Each structure stands twice: as C-alpha cells, then as structure tokens.
C-alpha cells in the first residue's frame, strides 16, 4: 500500500503526516520537510492532519488518529504507551517515564525509545524532560519548547 503525505503548517515549521488507509505510519518533524502527495488523502492521514492543525491552533488537547502498525520492540511499545498517559500540559522526567513504563532503571533507554517514536505530538515524547534541563528532542530544542509552550508549560 502506497504511503500518502499531507503537510501541516505550524509556527515552528511544517510537519508531515504520512500513512495509508491502515493509519498514520509517521509524523515528520519540521526539519524533515518533503513535498505533499497529490490527490485525496486516506481518511486516517486526513484526520491526523486536521487534528494537528487544531492542536497548533490551541483547539485540541488529545487525538483520535488511527496509528498504523510499525515495527518496534516490546520495550519501545511500553514507553510509547506510557507517553500517551502523560496529560496535556504536563511533563515527566525520563526516570519517571521509565518507572511508568515498568522499567525503573531504564531512563537512558527511554530516551532512545522516545527518539524512535514515529508519531511525535500524537504520542507526546516532547512532554519528557531531563531532571535538570529540557532534555533532547529529535526536532531540536526550539521545537520542543514550542510544543511545551503550546500546551501552556513554560520550561526555563
């Protein structure tokens, strides 16, 4: 099944939503810009793009997007489930997320699982911060700050 791409603008840059009728397989960060596909987007891709637009406008705090099956380890899946449990506008440290995922000694590995997350924002890896400082983010510190501030959380 062919992958379809829709681009969504935000004040932090253009995000890409990729997927098929099976669901969204990837949300691309602003630095991963590519041309949008021509034609009518499959329903899950169109819905995700619409919901991201609402999120960027401040009108959405959760997502109903269908996520496509992806290849991942059981550990990654446990971290991604724990990410989805972090409420809008709040943050967790890597250590707290490791605890929530059932792997209390795996804070560093949690960071790697966050980096492998194919659905940023929808699976909110931006809500994970270091014990002292912002922590990393695949889209860069500016984009992470933008997302946290979008949710009303100001991190100094």
Q: Which residues pair with 9 in a beta bridge?
A: 14
Asked if residue 148 lies in contact with residue 90, where contact means CB atoms within 8 angstroms, the answer is no
Burial 135-149 (b: 16+ CB within 10 A, else e): bbbbbeeebbbbbbe
Check if the beta carbon of residue 41 is closer than 8 Å to that of residue 49. Answer: yes
Cα atoms found within 13 Å of the Cα of residue 56, Cβ hemisphere only: 15
Instruction: Report the DSSP pairing between strands 13-20 and 4-10.
Output: antiparallel
48 given a catalytic annotation: no
The residue annotated as part of the active site, out of 28, 48, 100, 125, is: 125
Residue numbers annotated as active site: 125
């Amino acid at each position: 099944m062919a992958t379809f791409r829709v681009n969504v603008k935000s004040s932090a840059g253009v995000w890409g939503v990729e997927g098929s009728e099976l669901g969204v397989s990837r949300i691309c960060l602003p630095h991963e810009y590519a041309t949008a596909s021509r034609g009518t987007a499959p329903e899950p891709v169109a819905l995700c793009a619409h919901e991201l637009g609402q999120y960027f406008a401040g009108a959405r705090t959760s997502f109903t997007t269908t996520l496509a099956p992806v290849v991942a380890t059981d550990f990654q899946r446990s971290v991604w489930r724990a990410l989805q449990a972090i409420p809008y506008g709040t943050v967790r440290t890597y250590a707290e997320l490791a605890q929530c995922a059932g792997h209390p000694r795996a804070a560093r590995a949690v960071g790697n699982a966050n980096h492998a997350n194919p659905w940023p924002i929808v699976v909110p890896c931006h809500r994970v911060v270091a014990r002292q400082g912002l922590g990393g983010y695949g889209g860069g510190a500016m984009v992470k700050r933008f997302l946290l501030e979008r949710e009303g959380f100001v991190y100094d």
